[in-house]
Structure 1
Amino acid sequence: MLNPLATHAGARRLITAAGAAPSVHNTQPWRFVVRHREYVELHADPDRRLKVADPRGRSLHVSCGAALLNLRLALRVSGHRPITWPVPPAGDGSPTLLAAVRPASAAPASAAEHALYEAITTRRTNRQPFTGRSVPRAVTDELSRAARMEGADLVLLDASASAVLLEEVAAAEEALTRDRDYRAELARWTSGRSHHDGMPPYVQGLRPVGDLAPVRDLARAGGERVRFEAHPRLAVVTTPGDGPADWLRAGQALQRVLLVATVHGVSASFLNQPLDLRDMRHRTDPRHPAGHPQMILRLGYGPAVPCAPRRPALKLLGMA
């Protein structure tokens, strides 16, 4: 089967899929280089890192990991097996290089792999109120398996643990909103001035009522306030370690979980304020029995929402 990197059209298709991944505040902190039409390099874009909220680069790596999973899936449905190096290949010492992926011959993709690939374009971060409908156990079990496939875990919290975590989220958000630099950085990505990145008002959702709401308020002025679900279903993506390789692994696990959720009609959004605050205070995370928390998810059933803006593939892609 023809190597998809052999043509510009094939390379653009791969990068379009990779660039549709979720990222912190939709910063899209990635770029890609096709080397010798043989393999694709995933690079971090340091100019898009949140220097205030993400001093360690953890969120940047998680975001890039999500893009890497999409790239792998796009190669898989092209009839290839993605051989991935999570470290630079020999002889390349680029400080921004996070991974390289080479296509290899393989059997055709399965129906399940095609379904996940198709979910790339329909996945959304949903900041609207969810219904009270519970996510079935069979679906949450499949979400957990998806995380384990990428070397991470999805810890599903019960009602009591979710309530405690919501209090931690509220306390962290209160602390973050007192930080002037944090507010300015958030405003940069939520002002709606760009047509290709950030979080314009149409994807920010509605303003919540109460201090323990399961979504970020995003510091919007005015606007309608509504009540969200009283008992949100929360889950945490964890990894065995807490270094760059673990963060990249967490992003791949996160995206596989989100795509499986999308296939099942389950919506998701994020509540990472406690993790942002931890990173901003330069605190190391002691190892918990379930691993190191990397992402906090809210799961449920929500209304259809629009897609966040995306940078064109040609702006993400370089050839060498």
Structure 2
Amino acid sequence: MSAHVPVTDPPGAPPFATRAGVRRAVSAAVAAPSVHNTQPWRFRRVDDATMELYADLDRLLIVTDPMGRGLGISCGAALFNLRLALRMTGHDARVTALPDPGERPDLLATVRAVPGEPPEAGERLLYEMIPHRRTNRFPFDGQPLPRDVFVKLVHAAHAERATLVPVTGRAARRVLDMVGAAEDTLAADESYRAELARWTGSGVRSDGVPEHAFGPRPVRGAPPLRDFAPGAARPDADFEREPRLAALFTRQDGPRDWLRAGQALQRVLLTATAHGVAASLFSQPLDLRAPQHRGDRPGPFGHVQMLARFGYGPAVAEVPRRPVSEVVDLREARRG
């Protein structure tokens, strides 16, 4: 499903006044990446200018993501795409995160469109990248990212009040060893394997990770990408010797920060796509982080929310997306 539906409403028209307007915005939102491609989001139109974003708790990964951190990051990525779609209509997005955590903890954000300036060229470019962004679990060629490109990724994270830090040298090796150890621990857990199996495979479905997106199994186990078919026969391949890694941090570590991390991550990934840079993500050590350690003293950059690998790799096919009709309540929108 393409994230791009032409903007045909009159300039300045409320973006959610018609079914077409709602569909255009939500189509962009649901093209965001999500943990295991669970797509754990729902949307509700409140009025012509207001949309609510909800967590779909039926899609929470109980074993991998019991606290909902990955779900929050996934929904944050969808929120960023929704904001971009609003900018294409000449509106700014006024976002209220977790407006009613006591009564409606699944309501992650209220997004109100207000009249703004026409979209800038950079915003248009990011919006155009939405349907082209992929998670790439295939070997990269080992070519380093130009410094100016990585600086753009850092600035993208900073624009969303997050911090992207390169991980190099011995630190990179320690991180990869930590990810590999976490991957081994998870793969040995029967409940984890069962949960993984529910979200992977070759059957016809509109969510989950299909076999074509697994990628080959790295020879000698480096880099330790998530194995979506533990123990199963799968092609192997040589990957780059020194993966280009980065860590994404937020100052705090709670539901609002997870939403912020998701928005920052998506801005970084779209910026990378605009510069021909591929990316894959690591979260295995974070999946194993016990809830009682969430209050641990953070490092100088705050709390790590995602580890990423950047580089130049082959083109990869898209993964399925749920249709808009499954994730949005259109009952109040006028036909258009």
TM-score tier after normalising by the smaller chain length? over 0.9
Residue 44 of structure 1, CA deviation: 0.1
1:143 matches 2:159: no
Question: How much is the aligned-residue C-alpha RMSD, in angstroms?
Answer: 1.5
The list of structure 1 runs, each at least 4 consecutive aligned residues, that deviate by more than 4 angstroms after superposition, is: none
State TM-score, norm by structure 2: 0.92
Instruction: Pick closer, same or farther for the CA change 1:236–1:194 going to 2, 3 Å.
Output: farther
Q: Which residue does 1:251 correspond to in 2?
A: 262
8 A Cα contact 1:43 1:98, kept in partner: yes
Identity of aligned residues (%): 52
Q: Which residue does 1:154 correspond to in 2?
A: 164
> Following the alignment from structure 1 to structure 2, what is the Cα–Cα distance between the partners of residues 146 and 266?
14
8 A Cα contact 1:146 1:253, kept in partner: yes
1:48 matches 2:59: yes
Q: Which residue does 2:35 correspond to in 1?
A: 24
8 A Cα contact 2:49 2:114, kept in partner: no
> Following the alignment from structure 2 to structure 1, what is the Cα–Cα distance between the partners of residues 90 and 279?
30
Report the residue type matching 1:249 in the other structure.
R
8 A Cα contact 2:223 2:243, kept in partner: no
Residue 191 of structure 1, CA deviation: 2.1
> Following the alignment from structure 2 to structure 1, what is the Cα–Cα distance between the partners of residues 225 and 162?
24
Q: Unaligned stretches of 5+ in structure 2?
A: 1-11
SS in 1 for 2:276: coil
Question: Which digits, 9 at most, give the CA deviation of each residue in 1:2-23, with x for residues without a partner?
Answer: 1120100010000000000000
Q: Unaligned stretches of 5+ in structure 1?
A: none
Q: Which residue does 1:225 correspond to in 2?
A: 236
SS in 1 for 2:309: strand
Residue 89 of structure 1, CA deviation: 6.6
SS in 2 for 1:6: coil
Q: Which residue does 1:186 correspond to in 2?
A: 196
Report the residue type matching 2:50 in the other structure.
Y
Instruction: Pick closer, same or farther for the CA change 1:176–1:316 going to 2, 3 Å.
Output: same
1:199 matches 2:214: no
Residue 146 of structure 1, CA deviation: 0.6
Q: Which residue does 1:108 correspond to in 2?
A: 118
Q: Which residue does 1:300 correspond to in 2?
A: 311
Report the residue type matching 2:113 in the other structure.
P
1:286 matches 2:286: no
Question: Which digits, 9 at most, give the CA deviation of each residue in 1:130-169, with x for residues without a partner?
Answer: 0111101101111011101111100111132111100001
State TM-score, norm by structure 1: 0.96
Q: Which residue does 2:49 correspond to in 1?
A: 38
Q: Which residue does 2:6 correspond to in 1?
A: none
Report the residue type matching 2:148 in the other structure.
A
Equivalent pairs, count: 318
Residue 283 of structure 1, CA deviation: 3.0
1:123 matches 2:133: yes
SS in 2 for 1:5: coil
Question: Which digits, 9 at most, give the CA deviation of each residue in 1:27-75, with x for residues without a partner?
Answer: 0000100002230000000000101111111000000000000000000
